[in-house]
Amino acid sequence: MKIDVFAHILPERYLAALREKIGPEAEFREAQNRAVTDIEMRRRLMSRYPDVLQVLTVSLPPLETLVSPEDAVELARIANDELAELVDSYPDKFAGAVACLPLNDIEAALTEADRTISQLGFKGVQIFSNIDGEPLDSPKFKPLYAKMAYYDCPLWIHPWVDRKQPRETQFALDEETGAAMSRLVSSGVFLDHPDIKFITHHCGGITPLFDGRIERMHPIIYSEGRRIHVLEHLRKFYGDTACSGSTAALMCGYNLFGAERILFATDAPLGPPYGLTWETIKSVERMSIPDIEKEKIFERNAIELLRIAL
């Protein structure tokens, strides 16, 4: 069994409601892949990999970048209710779902986190490397971290760069992830909540490449008089395997996070016609680590972290 913890989807009713809010002509890059929006096509593609289960996350763009707080609250509920229906309808395909939150209304986001986790049984919540331009170390997001630490459920971090800005490059998303991780560490989030769990997409972006520089250049920082060993706290994040089939990238992540903090993910169904699933599986199999650690990456870590009952 393999559990893909970062599988993207734009549920049908959610996408229709979103286009109604911002205009029927609105188009999104991810929606150009039919398997992101068409559940029947998705299921047919998944049948090629009968041993892979998906954990569903709402695809880009972030809701808070598109609509008002009031509309975001409504749309998040639509998305989450639809995700819950999909998980209930296809338990042989989907191992769980991650909540979409109206992050431009933090009080409403806290309420929706409560609802999706306690009532719908969601595995955690999704945030982005910045919240419509606001960094993750902004004090306004501290209540969300406290709530997720209380529930002992992870926060999935997806990188985001405003596509209206010229800063988007081949490396911008990976830089965004690294910057978000650095800001969270510097804010002392692991001092406030030692067991809080963040799952970073693409195995932590650029962070695993620079562990040596981090240890040499900025080994210790201080936050409100509290001492933080930077690399020690960066190792508290989880990384996924969505590295487009690069075993070298996974080994960098392995050296930073260890086998216990790497989770299988493929970016499904994005990429070439579902080819990233095959490439990602092979990239894990090529890792120079014991088979028992590969088993942890493929399924055991997700089962334990997300409390999945197979």
The enclosing domain of 230 has a CATH number of 3.20.20.140
Q: What is the pLDDT of residue 192?
A: 97
Residue 163's pLDDT band (cuts 50, 70, 90):
low
Structural domain harbouring 48: 2-306
- In this structure, the number of other CB atoms found within 10 A of the CB of residue 265 comes to 30
What is the mean predicted confidence (pLDDT) over 170-194? 94
pLDDT in tens, 80-115: 999 999 999 999 999 999 999 999 999 999 999 999
What is the mean predicted confidence (pLDDT) over 117-137? 97
Q: How many domains does the chain have?
A: 1
- In this structure, the number of other CB atoms found within 10 A of the CB of residue 261 comes to 22
**Which H or E run contains 246?**
none
pLDDT in tens, 209-233: 998 888 888 888 888 888 999 999 9
Mean pLDDT, all residues of the chain:
94
> Per-residue pLDDT for 166 more than 70?
no
For the four alpha carbons of 98, 102, 104 and 105, in that order, the dihedral sign comes to negative
